[in-house]
Structure 1
């Protein structure tokens, strides 16, 4: 397998965690989204029509979008499952994952922040305030879901004793929020899961600073 990735992309980070949890080897192919490589005509035509990262190449099959990739990996390499087969637990895991991937991330990704700065001409302070507002708004919901999950499932992960897609989404989101100087102290349960993941070899292996294209 090949993974087109950018070290600081939270969506790429999700997939790197999933691959590491499943013990799958892959070739890392860096795509620098800061310099616009994801919009290169050949990359868009041959690899990822959505002009984004990540993209996974598995044999003759190429797939973009991090949640679709994790679902594909579960179908092809089902152990350990990251999207549970139990209907209720599956729904809970997807509920939390979608909150992060569909509510928080889209309004705070690089292309949105650049548009705010370059086209709307917000100041750096205004742009940072935008970012922190939507992190706080979204993480409040994440925290409430995790508190409920702790009551229902216990365990050190988002949903019990094993990591799921929810953990693959939560850890990159918190890492980015920390990097942007967001106040995360109100989200005790979220931080507890994050700190637990920080000691797991698969999550460590997937960290941005451990990728071949890392640049501070």
Structure 2
């Protein structure tokens, strides 16, 4: 399989984590977002939406959207499972994952931040305040959701799930912008547990071939 991604893309990071958790090999194909490579003809032929990541399967099929890709990997390579076996558990993990992927991440996506500065002429300090506000607001909501669940090592239970694949990249991004993580006890405990896991360590941006220190 081939994965088109960008080292700093949190959506790409999610998929890399899933690959590592499942022990699946893949070919890493970098697409540099800041340089605009996602808008060039070579990549638009791969991704009509001009977004990363894109997965090319062994059969040559192209799949977009990180959440769909991860679930595809989970269905085609069931072990270890990234979603619980029971319907209620699957719904709860998907809800946690979507709170991050759908409620937090879009507001601090690179193209959104660029629109704020280039089109709306927001200065850097104001942009960063925007970023920190929405990440913190979303993580506070995640913390409240986690507090309603039984205690576990990770977001849901004692094995990593789709929710953890989403959590770790969001925390990485938040650290870059100096988001306040104080008081997010369950959230940060899950993050710390993830970062002790070899799969999460291997998938992080610093280990990507296109990483820019």
TM-score for the superposition, normalised by structure 1: 0.96
Q: Which of residues 162, 166, 171 in structure 2 aligns to 1:165?
A: 162
Structure 1 runs, 4 residues or longer, greater than 2 Å off: none
- Structure 2 counterpart of 1:10: 10
- Structure 1 counterpart of 2:91: 91
3-state SS of paired residue (2:152): coil
- Structure 2 counterpart of 1:105: 105
3-state SS of paired residue (1:3): strand
TM-score for the superposition, normalised by structure 2: 0.97
The Cα of 1:189 is off from its aligned counterpart by 1.1
Q: 2:69 aligned with 1:74, yes or no?
A: no
Aligned equivalents of 1:85, 1:122: Cα separation in 2: 46
Q: 2:116 aligned with 1:119, yes or no?
A: no
- Structure 1 counterpart of 2:53: 54
Correspondences of 1:119-158 after superposition (within 5 Å) = 119-149=119-149, 152=150, 154-158=151-155
Aligned equivalents of 1:164, 1:148: Cα separation in 2: 17
**What are structure 1's unaligned runs of at least 5 residues?**
none
The Cα of 1:186 is off from its aligned counterpart by 2.1
The Cα of 1:210 is off from its aligned counterpart by 0.7
Q: 2:197 aligned with 1:203, yes or no?
A: no
- Give the number of aligned pairs: 212
1:57-101 CA deviation, whole Å, 9 max, x = no partner? 112211010000001001110111112231110010011111100
Q: 2:195 aligned with 1:193, yes or no?
A: no
3-state SS of paired residue (1:159): coil
Aligned equivalents of 2:146, 2:34: Cα separation in 1: 33
The Cα of 1:121 is off from its aligned counterpart by 0.3
The Cα of 1:148 is off from its aligned counterpart by 1.6
Bigger Cα displacement from structure 2, 183-192 vs 167-176: 183-192
The Cα of 1:27 is off from its aligned counterpart by 0.6
The Cα of 1:103 is off from its aligned counterpart by 0.5
User: Aligned Cα RMSD in Å?
Assistant: 0.9
Aligned equivalents of 1:204, 1:136: Cα separation in 2: 24
- Structure 2 counterpart of 1:212: 209
Aligned equivalents of 1:197, 1:215: Cα separation in 2: 23
